[in-house]
Amino acid sequence: MRVVWVKDGNIGHEKQVKVLLDKLSETTDMSVIEKTHRHTFVNKINNIINYITFGISSMFLSQAQLSNDHLYIKHNADIIIGAGNGTHYEIIRLKRLLSRHSKKQIKAITILSPTYLKNKFDIICAPLHDKHKHSNDLSNVIYFEGSLATVSLNEPDINTILIAVGGINKHYHFEEDHLISQISYFVSLNTTKNCFIFNTRRTPTSMNSKLKLLSDKFDNIIFCDFKETDLSFEDILHKSSSKLISRDSVNMIYESLSCIGDTYLLDMKSKSEKNKIVKNVNSLIINRKVGYIDCGDLVEGLAKMKLCKQNEYNEVMAEVEKVAYALNKVI
C-alpha cells in the first residue's frame, strides 16, 4: 500500500498519524512518502479561500500544481492521510489531482475532525469528544477515545517515575507555583526513585527555570528539556511505574493510559467547565480511569495534598489498535 502523509508540523498531530501508520504496517506492506504543509497564517487564509471556492478551484488543479506535485503523482498513492485543519484542504486537493493522473480510487483519510468538507473524506478518524461535530448519518467516521498512542504492555520499572508538564493553553489556567508545589509533593513521595521531568514547546521559560531549580534541589530528578535532551519521552513513559501529567496535555494523558503504570493528573483550574477537553478529563477522573492530586483545604489558606488513585483494574487503552482494525476492513 502506497501512502502520502501530509504533515502540518504539529507534533501532537503527527505522532497520532505515525502510530496509526506503524500499526497498519504490521499487517500491510507499506511505502510512505511525506509532504509538509505547515499550518501558517498564510496557508490558513489560503485554505479558507479554497474551502469557499472549492467547486471552482478544483477545476484548475492540473498544470499549475503539476511541477510541485510530480513526486507525489509518481508515488502512485492508494491513501492520502493527515491530521489537523492545516492538512485538510491539501489532502482533498491531492486526492483530486492524483486520482486524475492514476485513474484509480484514492482514499482520503483524516485523523481528527475536519471543520469543512467532511463529505469529501473517505474516512474520518475522530475522537469521541468531537462526536457533536458529525451528523448521525455520516457513515465514514471511525471514533476513538482521546488520542491515538503507541500501546505498550511491557512491565515498568518500579524505580522509575515520570512527570510531564505542558504549558499555556486554551483549557486550563497554568499557575506555575501551584504546579511546582504539586510536583514537589509527588517527588517527595518517591525520593528513592529516578524521576524524569519532561517539558514541552508550550512550557513557559519561567516554568522551565523553576523545574531546573527543582531538579537541583532533589538528587533523584532528571530534568529533560526538549531542546537539549537525547532521552525519548516514549521510552521513559513506557518504563515508568508512575506518571504525573498536567491536565492540558491530552495527548500525553492518553499516551500514559496506553501503557502499564499508574497515571495521575496535576490539579489545574479549568477556564470553562463546558470546554470539551475539560469535560473529557473530568470524565476520566469521575470514572477513575486516572488518578489525580487533590488539593483540598484543611482550613482556609492551609492546603492539604492527597494522591487519589485510579481504579487498579483498568485495562491499558488500545485505541490505535481499534482504529487500525476498522481501517483495515475498509482499505
Does 197 fall in a domain?
A: yes
51 with 177, same domain? no
For residue 316, tell me if it sits in a domain.
no
* Distance in angstroms (rounded) separating the CA atoms of residues 255 and 148: 8
201, 286: one domain: yes
Residue 91: Cβ within 10 Å count: 26
Residues 82 and 105 in one domain: yes
Domain identity same for 288 and 191: yes
Angle at 135 between CA 89 and CA 138, to 5 degrees: 70
CATH code for position 172:
3.40.50.2000
Range of the domain at 16: 2-149+321-330
Both 128 and 173 in one domain: the answer is no
How far is 86 from 145, CA to CA, in rounded Å? 22
Is 112 found in the same domain as 196? no
Asked whether residue 69 falls in the same domain as residue 195, the answer is no
Task: Identify whether the C-beta of residue 86 lies closer than 8 Å to the C-beta of residue 39.
Answer: yes
Q: Which residues sit opposite 126 in a β-bridge?
A: 143
Give how many domains the chain has, as a whole number. Answer: 2
pLDDT at 77: 93
Predicted local distance difference test score (pLDDT) of residue 116: 80
Rounded to whole angstroms, how far apart are CA atoms 197 and 212?
A: 10
C-alpha 214/C-alpha 141 separation (Å) is: 45
Tell me how far apart the alpha carbons of residues 106 and 72 are, in angstroms, rounded to a whole number.
12
In this structure, the answer to whether residues 116 and 247 fall within a common structural domain is no
Is residue 208 located within the same domain as residue 227? yes
Same domain, 168 and 68: no
Please give the pLDDT value at position 61: 45
313 part of a folded domain: no
- Whether 314 is in a domain gets the answer no
30 vs 248: CA distance, rounded Å = 34
pLDDT at position 56: 45
Note down pLDDT in tens along the chain; length 331 residues.
999 999 999 999 999 999 999 999 999 999 999 998 765 544 555 555 554 555 545 444 444 454 578 888 888 999 999 999 889 989 999 999 999 888 899 999 999 998 888 889 999 999 998 888 887 666 889 999 999 999 999 999 999 999 999 999 999 999 999 999 999 999 999 999 999 999 999 999 999 999 999 999 999 999 999 999 999 999 999 999 999 999 999 999 999 999 999 999 999 999 999 999 999 999 999 999 999 999 976 555 556 899 999 999 999 999 999 999 999 998 8
- Residue 264: strand pairing partners: 244, 291
Taking the complete model, does pTM exceed 0.75, yes or no? yes
- Any domain includes 221: yes
Find cell 503507541 and name the residue: 150
CB 8 within 8 A of CB 37: yes
Cα separation, 283 vs 293, whole angstroms = 16
The DSSP code for 167 is: -
3-state secondary structure of 198: strand
Instruction: Give the span between the Cα atoms of 211 and 183, in whole angstroms.
Output: 9
Q: 206: alpha, beta or left, given left = phi > 0 and alpha = psi -120 to 50?
A: alpha
**Checking phi first, is residue 84 left (phi over 0); if not, alpha (psi -120 to 50) or beta?**
left
Residue 325 lies in a domain: yes
Q: Which amino acid would we find at residue 60?
A: F
Let me know: does 305 contact 294? Beta carbons within 8 Å: yes
CA–CA separation, 250 and 258 (whole Å): 12
Handedness of CA 169, 171, 263, 110 (dihedral sign): negative
Q: Which residue type is seen at 330?
A: V
Residue partners of 273: CB distance under 8 A and separation at least 6: 279, 282
Where do the H-state alpha helices sit in the chain? 11-25, 41-52, 54-57, 63-75, 85-102, 176-188, 205-217, 233-239, 250-257, 276-286, 319-330
Give residue for cell 532528571. 222
The full DSSP string for 87-115 is HHHHHHHHHHHHHHHH-S--EEEEES--S
Phi, psi of 294 (to 5 degrees): -95, 120
pLDDT at 170: 95
Task: Give me the CATH number covering residue 68.
Answer: 3.40.50.2300
Q: Are residues 112 and 246 in the same domain?
A: no
Whether 315 is in a domain gets the answer no
Burial of 312 (0-12, 13-18, 19+ CB in 10 A): exposed
201 & 298 share domain: yes
